[in-house]
Amino acid sequence: MTPSPWLFPGGQPGRPISTGQLTQRLNQLGIRPNQARSTALFQLATEIPAAILARTLGIHTDVAIAWQRLSAGDWATYAAEVSQRPIRTDQHPASNT
């Protein structure tokens, strides 16, 4: 058998496994990809402001706000942490000219 460049090779030579096939195999093993994704996103929503979450993930701000409300996230902790970070001297503030 020749090595494949794909992490999850499919049945056809030179092609990866389809997302449906991979999901089916993971489900057979008791792994729920959608559930894991949702869990990770909700955890992230508890840790950062909705605006940053939206920009980072490329989602609408309203969706990020909804996730925060559902996950009971409060970005005050994030703001407190950011305010305690040391100021980097190698970065120059943008000029207002």
Q: Which residue has the tokens 């996103």?
A: 41
35-74: per-residue pLDDT in tens?
Answer: 888 888 888 888 899 999 999 999 999 999 988 888 876 6
pTM of the prediction? 0.48
List C-alpha distances in Å: 55 to 20, 52, 65: 28, 5, 12
Mean pLDDT of the chain: 82
